[in-house]
A and B are shown apart, each in its own frame.
Chain A
Amino acid sequence: MVRKRKSKSVIKERKEKVLSALRNLGGQVHGQILKGEFPSFRMPSRSISNILYDDKVRQYILGKRTVKRSARNVRHLRPFTQLLWTAMFVDELTEQNKTSTLRDVFYSAQAYEMDFQDQQESDSLITDLETVSAFSREDFNVYPEERSAIFGDLTVEYTIPGYEGRQLNLTSHPDGVMIGPALTTAEFVRPDKKKVDKVIAIEKGGLFTRFIEERVHQRFKAVLIHTAGQAPRATRFLLRRLNQELDVPVYIFTDGDPWGMHIAMVIISGSANAAHLRDLNTPDAIWGGVWATDIVDYKLPSSQLTDLDIKRLNELEKDPRYAGDLWKREIETFRKIRKKSEQEAFSRYGLTYIVDEYLPKKLKLKSN
């Protein structure tokens, strides 16, 4: 049997870039001290006034303003040192292919008399390091708690120690496979277009399970992803890779309310918090529903929008990411009907209605 070719050594190349970014930082500082200079570096400012929406890349980015971090400044020196320590720490992690959590970073620092005042301080240093290097913490093998899952006829090949070269088909486990560090760093084995031609991201676990039960992955040649609410960065990164490396469209299905709408938007356009990072959004992903207009068209069971929902709606209306026609229309409809519906609301028409009737219609969408 001929072994299927891997898509690309995407993960391996990326890792090399991450390591070289970190070492460049070390080399710069080392060199400055050798020259008798106080080491310093510049990085983009993350202050709110420097967070801009870029139409071209369709995500929030940081503006031109930079800040200088200098070891000459007594107020900078501690965070400066902490940043270098963090870089050194994640360099080792990455090199040894070990993963860590934000909490680990906090505790590991204490061994170097580099105690952080609190978890928040160490978290914000990880963000600094992301800003300096333009890589996200997952690239440094620092992961938050995982809760997302993936299912579909796609084979991945692990790169983590102990599993290097081992392959897994993502239909192996009927509950789906957890999207953790191992999966995030796995290479895709280029699948047969006949088996996979789209990705469906689903907000709710119940529906994800229903889709598996209804064999949506086979019927619609889809890789299914459970975002479990707002998609974690690792999941967003994975969605982007699936979209780009496999060259297949991504559909997003969320609850029909302002919050669900925004889950889709963050996958598409990224978050302001991650304005210093790229490669986390999937600009061409399509929000399939549940739309406000679906609530009307399908006469879905619904409940009243709360004051909090309305407030959120008003915020989103002003957000530059929501400038598109579809988004404007849906916000307006929500405002008009003052109603919201969950994905499960389709069960009113029978358990398989959503898969048999609703889904096929939505998968015909080419874009939002």
Chain B
Amino acid sequence: MTVAEVFQEISAADFFYRNRDIAGFTSPSRAVYSTIRELIENSLDACETIGVPPDIYFRISHEAGPIDGPGTYTIRVEDNGIGIPGSVIPSAFGQVLYGSKYKLRQTRGTFGLGGKMALLYGQITTHSEAKIISSTGLKNKITEVALRIDIQQNRPIVLKSKSHTNKRHWRGAIIEFKTEADYSRAMSKILEYVKQTAIIVPYANITFVDPRGRLYRFLRGTTKVPKAPTETSPHPHGVDVETVQRMLKLTNAKTLQKFLRKNFQRIGETTASKFLDYAGIGKKKTPRNLTPDDIVKLVNAMKNYEDFLSPDPSCLSPLGEELLATGIKKELGITDESIQDGTAFVGTVQRKPSTYGGFPFIVEVGLASFKGISTETRILLFRFANKIPLLFDEASDVSWKVVNDQIDWRNYKVVPGETPLAVFVHVCSTKIPYKTVGKEFIADRPEVEHEILNAIREAGRDLRLFLSKREHLAKEKRRLDVFEKYLPKVAQFSTKLAKQKKEPDIRPLLKSVIKYGAEEEE
């Protein structure tokens, strides 16, 4: 007897629901961290798209259950981003979508999947709806929608929808829903996440009210927002068979040569022609008629062809040396005065764009040293990818390897464990080479590793100057301390020994050692 297996088609939403573990929703504590993270990242993206300094407010309120264990919480996140047109709100939040375009640019999330995952998780753990309020600004109305996701059908169920006039021209989005969370366990990670976000997004105001009503405010240090990334077509080195197959289905191009030119960056008439000769596929072939074998052959040829120009970095949006320094200074509490008087150091370096496997990337690095940095963990490492802080699995990250194994810090006058030092590494790419689906640490791709190494070395040169100067100053101070300690005693003892009454004035001597510096006899 055979058991007839029942095959069922599952929706995208259902798929994510069943695989919520890989999206970072493994437990109530991890889930609340992931929820906050995904929503904040969506909000930041929504602001940066239109070049607006973000004002993010979020609140986690305790609703039911123990305060020190898993319970029900309300999450509310507000931003001043681009906003969502009222008509699009239901599908934007209530439907897990695949994008139909294959354009690339650096963003934090991918198609907003994480945000939807957060809503899904909230819905299945609390059986309640989500409330979304948004406006695209100016005189456009404010739309308020209450919805649930029909998981099996992958579509929104709108429970309530109404519009208000927008007298104050408000623009942005507010999202609020209930979810199961273990805030007490997630607290330290959430705070760390926000603090580090404030470093890498120094132009954002972030306000957070925690379940006990405590207010955390991270104020922006600048209103400059980095240039938004431009969308680009994929680079031929960075696509796979599935992607190319879909692109072929959608194209209107009549010939393969035209298809390449229109759908890929860095391919013109000549390159397309040379490449197709190399691939051994007819230029005039109709894209839609390519056989699966042809497609595999085409994609393999793309991977191996070496004469394509490098990927276009205009789809990247790095922070820049100035903004990175601003973020580091404000969150570490380093003042410009302390930098001027030589007690603190902040140095940032942005490398030129580079590529790996068809994807452009840029590495930015910051080094900071001042006495407020803890030396307990030797060198303090902060990792960021596409303006997102990476908080887990530090020791598996390529930056950790570079900082701890490859740099000989003695060359920069750093004594790990003694010299206070924080290293900030920011990798921007249209595709961050994460090692695992958890997206918490970056793989040691040689190209990326090389760039990080060189960036730290470059920034290290200034650090070395700073530390040498400090060493010199400290030595000078120790020297003066010796004079200040002992000269008065010399005066005192000699007076007593000589049976004199009045101690001679040692101030001129003290003054001269300060004035003439390190000049010494024998």
A72 pairs with B521, CB closer than 8 A? yes
Partner of B486, one of A25, A40, A78: A78
| Nearest CB on B from A22, distance (A) | 6
| Nearest CB on B from A327, distance (A) | 41
| Residues A81 and B493 in contact in the complex (CB < 8 Å), given A26-B498, A30-B498, A74-B479 | yes
| Residues A30 and B494 in contact in the complex (CB < 8 Å), given A68-B521, A73-B520, A73-B522 | yes
A30 pairs with B482, CB closer than 8 A? no
B417 interface residue (CB < 8 Å to A): no
For the complex, give the distance between the alpha carbons of A152 and B306 in Å. 110
B496 pairs with A81, CB closer than 8 A? no
Enumerate chain A residues within 8 angstroms of B496, measured Cβ to Cβ.
26, 88
| Nearest CB on A from B520, distance (A) | 5
Enumerate chain A residues within 8 angstroms of B493, measured Cβ to Cβ.
26, 81, 84-85, 87-88
| Nearest CB on B from A361, distance (A) | 54
Partner of B483, one of A26, A74, A84: A74
For the complex, give the distance between the alpha carbons of A236 and B522 in Å. 37
Against A, the Cβ 8 Å flags (1 = close, 0 = not) of B471-496 are 00000000100110011011101111
Enumerate chain B residues within 8 angstroms of A34, measured Cβ to Cβ.
504
Against B, the Cβ 8 Å flags (1 = close, 0 = not) of A45-88 are 00000000000000000000000101111110110110011011
A23 pairs with B498, CB closer than 8 A? yes
| Residues A26 and B494 in contact in the complex (CB < 8 Å), given A36-B509, A68-B521, A70-B522 | yes
Which residue on A lies nearest to B499, using beta carbons?
A: A23
B520 pairs with A29, CB closer than 8 A? no
A178 interface residue (CB < 8 Å to B): no
Enumerate chain B residues within 8 angstroms of A174, measured Cβ to Cβ.
none
B491 pairs with A74, CB closer than 8 A? no
Partner of B489, one of A27, A36, A81: A81
Partner of B487, one of A71, A75, A87: A71
B497 pairs with A87, CB closer than 8 A? yes
| Nearest CB on A from B239, distance (A) | 68
| Residues A80 and B486 in contact in the complex (CB < 8 Å), given A72-B521, A73-B521, A73-B522 | yes
| Residues A112 and B489 in contact in the complex (CB < 8 Å), given A30-B495, A73-B521 | yes
B489 pairs with A25, CB closer than 8 A? no
B446 interface residue (CB < 8 Å to A): no
Enumerate chain A residues within 8 angstroms of B483, measured Cβ to Cβ.
74, 77
| Residues A36 and B508 in contact in the complex (CB < 8 Å), given A68-B521, A72-B520, A77-B483 | yes
For the complex, give the distance between the alpha carbons of A29 and B487 in Å. 11
Partner of A81, one of B486, B508, B513, B521: B486
B500 interface residue (CB < 8 Å to A): yes
Enumerate chain A residues within 8 angstroms of B138, measured Cβ to Cβ.
none
B506 interface residue (CB < 8 Å to A): yes
For the complex, give the distance between the alpha carbons of A23 and B494 in Å. 8
A26 pairs with B490, CB closer than 8 A? no
Which residue on A lies nearest to B507, using beta carbons?
A: A36
Interface residues of B in 318-347 (CB under 8 A from A): none
For the complex, give the distance between the alpha carbons of A91 and B513 in Å. 31
Which residue on B lies nearest to A29, using beta carbons?
A: B494
Enumerate chain B residues within 8 angstroms of A27, measured Cβ to Cβ.
494, 497-498, 500
A30 pairs with B500, CB closer than 8 A? yes
Which residue on A lies nearest to B518, using beta carbons?
A: A74
Against B, the Cβ 8 Å flags (1 = close, 0 = not) of A21-47 are 011011101100110101110000000
Against A, the Cβ 8 Å flags (1 = close, 0 = not) of B511-522 are 001000000111
B497 pairs with A84, CB closer than 8 A? yes
Enumerate chain B residues within 8 angstroms of A272, measured Cβ to Cβ.
none
Enumerate chain A residues within 8 angstroms of B482, measured Cβ to Cβ.
74, 77-78
| Residues A33 and B504 in contact in the complex (CB < 8 Å), given A23-B498, A81-B493 | yes
A114 interface residue (CB < 8 Å to B): yes
Partner of B509, one of A33, A81, A88: A33
| Nearest CB on A from B418, distance (A) | 23
For the complex, give the distance between the alpha carbons of A85 and B497 in Å. 9
Enumerate chain A residues within 8 angstroms of B509, measured Cβ to Cβ.
33, 36, 38, 71
For the complex, give the distance between the alpha carbons of A38 and B505 in Å. 12
| Nearest CB on B from A72, distance (A) | 5
User: Quick one: which of B479, B490, B505, B520 has the most chain A CB within 10 A?
Assistant: B490
User: Quick one: which of B483, B497, B498, B509 has the most chain A CB within 10 A?
Assistant: B497
Interface residues of B in 17-64 (CB under 8 A from A): none
For the complex, give the distance between the alpha carbons of A114 and B486 in Å. 9
B520 pairs with A81, CB closer than 8 A? no
B521 pairs with A70, CB closer than 8 A? yes
Enumerate chain A residues within 8 angstroms of B489, measured Cβ to Cβ.
81, 84-85, 112-114
Against B, the Cβ 8 Å flags (1 = close, 0 = not) of A78-117 are 1011001101100100000000000000000000111000
Enumerate chain B residues within 8 angstroms of A112, measured Cβ to Cβ.
489
Partner of B497, one of A23, A68, A78: A23
For the complex, give the distance between the alpha carbons of A80 and B504 in Å. 17
Enumerate chain B residues within 8 angstroms of A91, measured Cβ to Cβ.
497
For the complex, give the distance between the alpha carbons of A178 and B479 in Å. 49
Which residue on B lies nearest to A35, using beta carbons?
A: B504
User: Quick one: which of A33, A39, A68, A88 has the most chain B CB within 10 A?
Assistant: A33
Enumerate chain B residues within 8 angstroms of A38, measured Cβ to Cβ.
509
For the complex, give the distance between the alpha carbons of A22 and B499 in Å. 11
User: Quick one: which of B491, B494, B505 has the most chain A CB within 10 A?
Assistant: B494
Enumerate chain A residues within 8 angstroms of B491, measured Cβ to Cβ.
30, 33
Enumerate chain B residues within 8 angstroms of A25, measured Cβ to Cβ.
494, 497
Which residue on A lies nearest to B504, using beta carbons?
A: A33
For the complex, give the distance between the alpha carbons of A114 and B488 in Å. 12
Give the A-binding residues of B (Cβ under 8 A): 479, 482-483, 486-487, 489-491, 493-500, 504-506, 508-509, 513, 520-522
Cβ contacts A to B, 28 pairs, < 8 Å: A23-B499, A25-B494, A26-B498, A26-B499, A27-B500, A29-B494, A29-B498, A30-B491, A30-B495, A30-B498, A33-B490, A36-B508, A38-B509, A39-B490, A39-B494, A70-B521, A71-B509, A72-B520, A73-B522, A74-B520, A77-B490, A78-B482, A81-B486, A84-B490, A84-B493, A84-B497, A88-B493, A88-B496
8 A-B pairs closest in CB distance: A26-B497, A26-B498, A29-B494, A33-B504, A84-B493, A27-B498, A30-B494, A81-B486
